[in-house]
Amino acid sequence: MTTPDVEFRPLALPESVDSPDAGDLLEMVHVRNLVYREITGHDDDAMPADELLPHLRSSEYETRKMWIVLEHGRVIGRVGVDLPLEEGSKVAFWLIELLREAWGRGIGSAAYEIVESYARENGRSVLQSWAQHPTADGPRLTPPTGFGEIPEDHAARFYLRHGYSLEQIERESAFDLLAGFGAVESLLAQAEAASSDYRVLQWFAPTPAEYADGYAWMKSRMATDAPAAAMEFDEETWDAARIAEHDARYTDVGQTLQVTAAQHIATGELCAFNELVVGKDRTTASHQEDTLVLKDHRGHKLGTLVKCAGLISWRALVPDSPRVITYNAEENRPMLDINEAIGFAPIAYNGAWKKVLS
Ligand SMILES: CC(C)(COP(=O)(O)OP(=O)(O)OC[C@H]1O[C@@H](n2cnc3c(N)ncnc32)[C@H](O)[C@@H]1OP(=O)(O)O)[C@@H](O)C(=O)NCCC(=O)NCCS
């Protein structure tokens, strides 16, 4: 603890946002949304408390721990650590987010001590974290992948000072849902012509029982098949029960999750998928979550197929959502080629940071 006026208080999650003990949660979410606005200049990452709550809860697959940071009793930030519960996991994922007025006074460093000791106590040695690094002049940092760069800003210096290395750059892109869909429609036609052995399937969470096993297998490949540079992810085991738990985090609070998949007609195997999500307020930005084509089925334009088919039905479903936000590794040329052709344009760059504890 840096000063007697600063407190790190474990966040106890209430049953619901209407519970009498929901005060800390509500303050945390308010500050979270302000922090993102200060960094990005927009509210596309804002979440209402009731929709965020299920994503904060621990499950049999992951322990999620959070502290609120208070100064003179007022919430000024939060600290979070996620511990995946895969067998033998060594990794921990963390965040520290402070209002700008609180930066540069050692509060982040004090929060970081909590992160590192919590990770050590739980036997984790590979600590990883992401931050947005808004465009700025001055010295730059590049990761070992050789793709992308970020300014050596306050957050970057914070990571370096605490022994982290920059491993990967992630590009955040936006697609304007209110502009023309000409490119999407012609790309979809080309992809359909190149994928005659496949059909497009679509559903909304909760996933229909007939697709749960196929979807679970594809979700399990997400952790191993997406380009991760030197960032480390556990091999994940997914089954129908884990899909149900995953889906409920969206459906329980009125979020809409659309899954567009490609099915190999001859075998019935699900081979590619794309996810789009919007909150209860469908006038807010949509988020593209996972997209993947299984390795054995690459080269048939299935990535373009599921993305374009997904966007076309999405526009009809949420005509007032202004854009779709997506994140891709800067070295993931095959995926960036598809996104750029569709009309996604870069809006920001994130650094992926890692430290291995001795
Ligand atoms: C990144 C972040 C967590 C850093 O927190 P912080 O409280 O500003 O960090 P600290 O004050 O501990 O350290 C930052 C600087 O303040 C200096 N400092 C540390 N203690 C200090 C003190 N008591 N008084 C004055 N300065 C101090 C440090 O030397 C450091 O200087 P440097 O930039 O030259 O290396 C904070 O800026 C933030 O919330 N950013 C937005 C979210 C984000 O990007 N998070 C990244 C992790 S997810």
Question: Which residue out of 68, 78, 103, 162 has the highest number of ligand 1 atoms within 8 Å of its CB and is therefore the one to mutate?
Answer: 103
- Within this chain, do residues 85 and 191 fall inside the same structural domain, yes or no? no
Q: Which residues pair with 297 in a beta bridge?
A: none
Q: Which amino acid is at 194?
A: A
How far is ligand 1, taken at its centre, from the CA of residue 140, in Å? Answer: 18
- Within this chain, do residues 132 and 253 fall inside the same structural domain, yes or no? no
Copy the structure tokens of residue 46. Answer: 């804002």
Supply the pTM of this predicted model. 0.94
**What is the DSSP secondary-structure string of 297-337?**
GTTSSHHHHHHHHHHHHHHHH-TT--EEEEEEETT-HHHHH
Question: Which residue out of 105, 114, 353 has the highest number of ligand 1 atoms within 8 Å of its CB and is therefore the one to mutate?
Answer: 105
How far is ligand 1, taken at its centre, from the CA of residue 77, in Å? Answer: 12
Rounded-to-integer distance, Cα 326 and Cα 131, Å: 15
> 3-state class of 137 per DSSP?
coil
- Within this chain, do residues 185 and 94 fall inside the same structural domain, yes or no? no
- Within this chain, do residues 130 and 70 fall inside the same structural domain, yes or no? yes
- pLDDT at position 2 is 55
Q: Are 5 and 71 spatial neighbours (Cβ–Cβ below 8 Å)?
A: yes
C-alpha distances out from residue 232 to 8, 44, 46, 282, Å? 28, 28, 28, 34
Task: Identify the segments of the chain with pLDDT beneath 50.
Answer: none
What CATH code is carried by the domain that includes residue 232? 3.40.630.30
Residue at which a domain ends, from 144, 172, 200: 172
Rounded-to-integer distance, Cα 160 and Cα 105, Å: 17
How far is ligand 1, taken at its centre, from the CA of residue 170, in Å? Answer: 22
Residue 298 domain flag: yes
Residue 355 domain flag: no
CA count, 13 A, side-chain hemisphere, 27 = 20
Rounded-to-integer distance, Cα 226 and Cα 289, Å: 13
- Within this chain, do residues 198 and 251 fall inside the same structural domain, yes or no? yes
- Within this chain, do residues 83 and 159 fall inside the same structural domain, yes or no? yes
How far is ligand 1, taken at its centre, from the CA of residue 95, in Å? Answer: 13
- Within this chain, do residues 156 and 185 fall inside the same structural domain, yes or no? no
Index of the ligand 1 atom closest to the CA of residue 110: 12
Rounded-to-integer distance, Cα 122 and Cα 127, Å: 12
Residue at which a domain ends, from 153, 172, 191: 172
Q: Atom 18 of ligand 1 has which residue's CA nearest to it?
A: 106
For the chain, what is the total number of helices (H) and then of strands (E)?
Answer: 9, 14
The ligand 1 site (C-beta within 6 Å) comprises: 39, 95-98, 103-109, 129, 131, 154-155, 157-158, 161
**What is the DSSP secondary-structure string of 227-272?**
--TT---------HHHHHHHHHHHHTTT-EEEEEEEEETTT--EEE
How far is ligand 1, taken at its centre, from the CA of residue 154, in Å? Answer: 7
Rounded-to-integer distance, Cα 187 and Cα 132, Å: 31
- Within this chain, do residues 74 and 150 fall inside the same structural domain, yes or no? yes
Residue 219 domain flag: yes
Residue 149 domain flag: yes
Other C-beta atoms lying within 10 Å of the C-beta of residue 206: 15
Residues 6+ apart with CB under 8 A from 4: none
Residue 69 domain flag: yes
- pLDDT at position 12 is 97
How far is ligand 1, taken at its centre, from the CA of residue 20, in Å? Answer: 34
Q: Are 197 and 334 spatial neighbours (Cβ–Cβ below 8 Å)?
A: no
Index of the ligand 1 atom closest to the CA of residue 39: 41
- Within this chain, do residues 223 and 279 fall inside the same structural domain, yes or no? yes
- Within this chain, do residues 23 and 54 fall inside the same structural domain, yes or no? yes
Question: Which residue out of 38, 81, 97, 109 has the highest number of ligand 1 atoms within 8 Å of its CB and is therefore the one to mutate?
Answer: 109
- Within this chain, do residues 159 and 184 fall inside the same structural domain, yes or no? no
Domain that holds residue 262: 174-349
Index of the ligand 1 atom closest to the CA of residue 130: 48
- Within this chain, do residues 141 and 183 fall inside the same structural domain, yes or no? no
- Taking only the tens place, the pLDDT of each residue in 296-306 is 999 999 999 99
- pLDDT at position 4 is 76
Residue at which a domain ends, from 172, 201, 220: 172
| 74-84/62-71 β-pairing | antiparallel
Residue 50 domain flag: yes
Copy the structure tokens of residue 232. Answer: 């480390």
Rounded-to-integer distance, Cα 198 and Cα 45, Å: 35
Count of the separate structural domains present in the chain: 2
